[in-house]
Amino acid sequence: MAKLIYPELSYKIVGVLFEVFNHLGGGFQEKYYQRAISREFKDKKIKFKEQLPINLAYKGLSLGKYYLDFLVEEKVILEIKNSSKFYSKDIKQVLGYLRAKNLKLGILACFSRNGLIYKRILKGN
């Protein structure tokens, strides 16, 4: 059986997501969830950066920037959506972020009127 990557930190992040969902419910724009998550991270003294720009380059040429919703403890990328399911483009987006930052774990969270769902996404070798 494979060992979980950052189990304690993942548990804390998911706890924050459920705390926010339990108070706000579903149906709001992403920016409101982002603000609430930021507040919870601060309250719980979890180190994070939000809307972190990541440069994407090709052979020294800048192609543009990614903006991570959250980088938690310099280890885990948290991407939030206000949709009712995971889309392959969202999973690919998180995988791209993981490659760009050379990190192992991302969490994709979707807030919807029907509930909160989340998915741990691991960068392949």
State pLDDT tens for residues 42-77: 999 999 999 999 888 788 888 888 899 999 999 999
Please check whether residue 2 lies inside any domain of the structure: no
Higher local confidence (pLDDT), 41 or 54: 41
Mean local confidence (pLDDT), 10-33: 95
CATH number at residue 61: 3.90.320.10
* Residue 35: other Cβ atoms inside 10 A: 13
pLDDT of residue 14: 97
Residue 105 has pLDDT above 80, yes or no: yes
pLDDT of residue 2: 58
Please check whether residue 116 lies inside any domain of the structure: yes
Longest dimension (CA), the chain: 46
Taken in order 110, 32, 66, 75, the sign of the CA dihedral is negative
Question: 73: domain range?
Answer: 7-122
- The answer to whether 72 and 47 are in contact (CB under 8 A) is yes
pLDDT of residue 56: 81
pLDDT of residue 49: 96
Higher local confidence (pLDDT), 40 or 5: 40
Please check whether residue 34 lies inside any domain of the structure: yes
Q: How many structural domains comprise the chain?
A: 1
pLDDT of residue 1: 47
Please check whether residue 1 lies inside any domain of the structure: no
Please check whether residue 79 lies inside any domain of the structure: yes
